């Protein structure tokens, strides 16, 4: 797939005037969806369009959602503010991008050595996470929903091999969310940037390495052209939830049936998006290795252990945060992680280890 199809300008788009209420014509509401992604980027860009279409369909056409990719209306990292301020009705992005708002937000997207995709949505639905999610985002005038997940992300693309913890020190590395804090504790220079920008930075040497999502999305952006060492496991993001944020005032003004249409549209896409990522990651990895000469490498155990210790420090600091809400979110996350993790020793982990021992995978 030609990576150039997905490269869009990172320049700031011209913001539309704030919306007092959504435009209505013949009882049809016209909603703007702003996204953090290039249009139709395999993975998140595709998922964003699926969500826009599904809301339109499930609302019976009473809400028409028009998608604006990153840079078309606002820059990708500006979508949260655009919806909070009323410039657009909703966005599609990931919680990992909003740590500057509150570190508590980051736990709703991914956590180093944290929750898998099924566990993440389990925490929200059955472990009290959604109520905390609503409380946190409500401070910014946004109603949040999970609407997909990438599944396990990868350790990243490295220009040079990693043989020890010492090799990480001073490494200029693209990542995001709590993984950035984990990497910083290992002496890495963690940098946040968009997927297309990461390609350019790897190509010029401005970055030594970086992670984005996984084989399907990463190969579309062409990272295999500029870095051949592809590392696993991606312990920084055992999963990465995608979210839809809706302007809370606009959402609150909807009749109950349209509120349900928006909610169901988001919830109903979680598994289809997650399983599409998993299926296409598998096919894309095979092609990367067999046709593109990518070297799949496992981080040395000492590196994984060091990352684990750093991740424990990150969570410990969140548990002592000055913000009481951040502390409550963290305690809820830790309680669910520990409970579900203990069970998975016998359930999914046990099954996967047994299969690997017998089948070799």
Using an 8 Å Cβ cutoff, are 272 and 147 in contact? no
* Residue spans of alpha helices (H) in 89-247: 103-106, 117-126, 129-138, 178-185, 195-204, 215-221
191 annotated to a ligand binding site: no
Domains with residue ranges and CATH for the chain: 3-151+238-279 (3.40.190.170)
CA 103 to CA 219: how far, in whole Å?
Answer: 30
Q: Dihedral (C-alpha) 267, 233, 313, 346: value to the nearest 10 degrees?
A: 70
User: What sign does the dihedral 110-115-116-122 (CA atoms) show?
Assistant: negative
| H runs (alpha helix) in 37-128 | 44-58, 79-85, 103-106, 117-126
Asked whether the beta carbons of 155 and 232 are under 8 A apart, the reply is: yes
276 among the known binding-site residues?
no
Segment 117-146 mean pLDDT: 98
Nearest to 83 by CA among 140, 128, 130: 140
Please indicate, yes or no, whether the overall pTM of this predicted structure exceeds 0.85. Answer: yes
> Per residue in 322-353, pLDDT tens?
999 999 999 999 999 999 999 999 999 999 99
Q: What is the spatial distance between Cα 344 and Cα 341, in angstroms, rounded to a whole number?
A: 5
Question: Given pLDDT bands bounded at 50, 70 and 90, which one contains residue 220?
Answer: very high
What pLDDT, on a 0 to 100 scale, did the predictor assign at position 24?
Answer: 45
Position with higher pLDDT, 219 vs 24: 219
Annotation-wise, does 301 bind a ligand?
Answer: no
Mean pLDDT of 75-79: 97
Q: pLDDT at position 213, please? A: 98
**What average pLDDT does the chain have?**
94
Distance CA 230, CA 130 (A): 34
161-213 per-position pLDDT tens digit: 999 999 999 999 999 999 999 999 999 999 999 999 999 999 999 999 999 99
pLDDT of residue 268: 98
Per-residue pLDDT tens for 29-71? 999 999 999 999 999 999 999 999 999 999 999 999 999 999 9
Task: Determine the average pLDDT of the residues in 244-255.
Answer: 98
- To the question of whether residue 120 is assigned a binding role by annotation, the answer is no
Residues 33, 13: Cα–Cα separation, whole Å: 14
- Tell whether 113 is in a known binding site: no
Task: Give pLDDT, residue 26.
Answer: 57
Exposure class string for 36-51: b at 16+ Cβ within 10 A, else e: bbbbebbbbbbbbbbb
Q: Identify the pLDDT of residue 283.
A: 98
Which of 62, 250, 44 shows the shortest CA–CA distance to 141?
250
């Amino acid at each position: 797939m030609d990576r150039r199809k997905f490269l869009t300008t990172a320049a700031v788009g011209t913001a539309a005037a704030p919306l007092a209420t959504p435009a209505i014509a013949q009882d049809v509401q016209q909603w703007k969806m702003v996204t953090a992604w290039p249009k139709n980027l395999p993975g998140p860009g595709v998922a964003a369009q699926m969500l826009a279409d599904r809301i339109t369909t499930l609302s019976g056409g009473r809400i028409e959602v028009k998608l604006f990719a990153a840079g078309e209306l606002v820059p990708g990292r500006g979508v949260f503010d655009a919806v909070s301020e009323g410039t657009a009705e909703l966005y599609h992005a990931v919680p990992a991008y909003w740590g500057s708002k509150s570190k508590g937000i980051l736990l709703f997207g991914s956590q180093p050595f944290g929750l898998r995709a099924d566990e993440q949505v389990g925490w929200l639905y059955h472990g009290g996470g959604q109520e905390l999610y609503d409380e946190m985002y409500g401070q910014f005038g946004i109603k949040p929903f999970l609407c997909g997940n990438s599944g396990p992300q990868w350790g990243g693309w490295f220009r040079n091999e990693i043989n020890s913890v010492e090799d990480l020190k001073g490494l200029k590395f693209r990542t995001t969310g709590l993984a950035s804090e984990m990497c910083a504790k290992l002496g890495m220079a963690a940098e946040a940037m968009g997927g297309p920008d990461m390609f350019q930075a790897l190509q010029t040497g401005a970055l030594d390495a970086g992670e984005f999502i996984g084989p399907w999305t990463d190969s579309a952006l062409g990272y295999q052209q500029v870095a051949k060492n592809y590392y696993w496991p991606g312990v920084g993001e055992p999963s990465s939830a995608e979210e839809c944020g809706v302007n809370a005032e606009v959402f609150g003004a909807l009749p109950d049936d349209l509120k349900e249409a928006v909610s169901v549209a988001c919830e109903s896409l979680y598994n289809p998006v997650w399983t599409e990522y998993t299926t296409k990651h598998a096919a894309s990895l095979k092609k990367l290795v067999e046709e593109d000469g990518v070297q799949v490498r496992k981080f040395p155990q000492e590196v994984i252990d060091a990352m684990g210790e750093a991740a424990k420090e990150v969570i410990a600091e969140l548990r002592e945060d000055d913000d009481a809400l951040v502390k409550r979110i963290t305690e809820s996350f830790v309680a669910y992680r520990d409970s579900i993790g203990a069970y998975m020793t016998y359930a999914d982990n046990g099954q996967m280890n047994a299969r690997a021992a017998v089948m070799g995978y």
